[in-house]
Amino acid sequence: MNTLRTAMLLAAMTALFMGVGFLIGGSGGMMIALVIAAGMNLFSYWNADKMVLSMHHAVEVDERNAPEYFSIVRGLAQRAGLPMPKVYLIDNDQPNAFATGRNPQNAAVAATTGLLRRLSHEEVAAVMAHELAHVQHRDTLTMTIVATLAGAISMLGNFAFFFGGNRDNNNPFGFIGVLVAMIVAPFAAMIVQMAVSRTREYSADRRGAEICGNPLWLASALDKIARGAERIANPDAERNPATAHLFIINPLSGERMDNLFSTHPATENRIAALQAMAREMGGGREAAPSQSGPWGAAAAPQARGEREAPKAGPWGRSPTGPKGPWS
C-alpha cells in the first residue's frame, strides 16, 4: 500500500506540474513541465531526505558528541528490529522531531535541541519511537517526497507570476491562465500534503508507544511539544512550510486546529487515543515525569525501582541513561 500510495502521489504531482505548465506556456510549457517533473521525481527519490535535513540545518551526531540521545535511538531501533538510522540534531529551541529517508536502510531521525532540553528521558524515547514507527511503516519516503515536491509546486506558482502570460501566443489562456496557476499551485501543494493521510500519525503513535513500552510517555511528550510549538517559533519551518507535515507536531504558527486543511490530527485527539491504549495495556503506570529535561531527575523512574537519569545533558558527560525498555 505504501508503494502504491507513493506511485499515486508521484503521478498526481507530475500531472499537476504538466497542468500548471500548460496554463503558463501552452503545450510547450506542458512538455517542459513534464521533463522537470520527471527529473524532480527521480531526484526526490534519491535526495529529498538530504534536502529536508539541509533546509532545517540538521547536523549529524553520534555517540561521542550526543551520547545519551544516540543511545536512546540505538536502543529503540534494536527493540523495533530496525537498522540503526542516522541521527541528527537541529539547533532550534522549539521542541519537535521528524524522520526521513527512502527506506529503513537509509533512514534518518532528527530532533531539535529544544526537544532534548525540555522533555524527560522517557518522553524523548517516546518521541523517537514515534519517528522510528514512521520508518518501520515506510511513511518516510512518501512524506519526504511530498515535502520536496510541494515546495517545488509553490515555486512554480511564483514562476507563473514573473514569467507567465507574456505577449506571445504560447499561453492559450493568457493572463487568466497565469492567475489560475498562481492561485492553484500553492493550494494544490497544500492538498498534496493532506493526501498523506493524517491517520499515519495515529498509526505511528500506536506503534511508537509499543516500541517505547508506555503510551503515556508519548502522550505527555505530545502535550509538551504542542504547548512549546505554540509559544516558540520555528523559523526554518516557516521558511519551508511544505515540510511541516514531517514533524511530530505541526511547527507552524497558526496551524493548531484539527480542521480540513490541517496536516496533523488535533493533539488532544492523539493524547486521548494514547490514554485509551494505556488502559487497554493495563493502564496502571504513571506518565512520564512532568518536569523538563535535560533528562530531568524524575521521581517516576525511582518509584519503579529504576536508576535516576544522570544530570548531564543529552550531549553531556555520561553515555548511559536510566535503563528502560529502549536500552
Helices (H), the chain: 2-55, 67-80, 113-118, 121-136, 139-163, 174-195, 199-212, 215-231, 235-239, 267-280, 299-303
Q: Which of 60, 68, 131, 280 is catalytic?
A: 131
The reply to whether 130 sits in an annotated binding site is yes
Name the 3-class secondary structure at 90.
Answer: strand
Q: Please give the span between the terminal C-alpha atoms of the chain, in angstroms, as a whole number.
A: 32
Using alpha carbons, list the distances in angstroms from residue 98 to 53, 87, 134, 245, 280: 10, 11, 9, 9, 27
Please state, as a whole number, how many other Cβ atoms lie within 10 Å of the Cβ of residue 250. Answer: 24
Length of the chain: 327
CA–CA distance, 114 with 104 (Å, rounded to integer): 26
Q: Are strands 58-61 and 97-100 parallel, antiparallel or unpaired?
A: unpaired
Q: Can 131 be counted among the known catalytic residues?
A: yes
CA–CA distance, 31 with 313 (Å, rounded to integer): 54
The reply to whether 201 sits in an annotated binding site is yes
CA–CA distance, 298 with 291 (Å, rounded to integer): 8
Nearest to 215 by CA among 89, 325, 99, 87: 325
Name the 3-class secondary structure at 302.
Answer: helix
What region does 241 belong to: left with phi over 0, alpha with psi -120 to 50, or beta? alpha
List the catalytic residues.
131
**Which residues line the annotated binding site for Zn(2+)?**
130, 134, 201
**Which residues line the annotated binding site?**
130, 134, 201
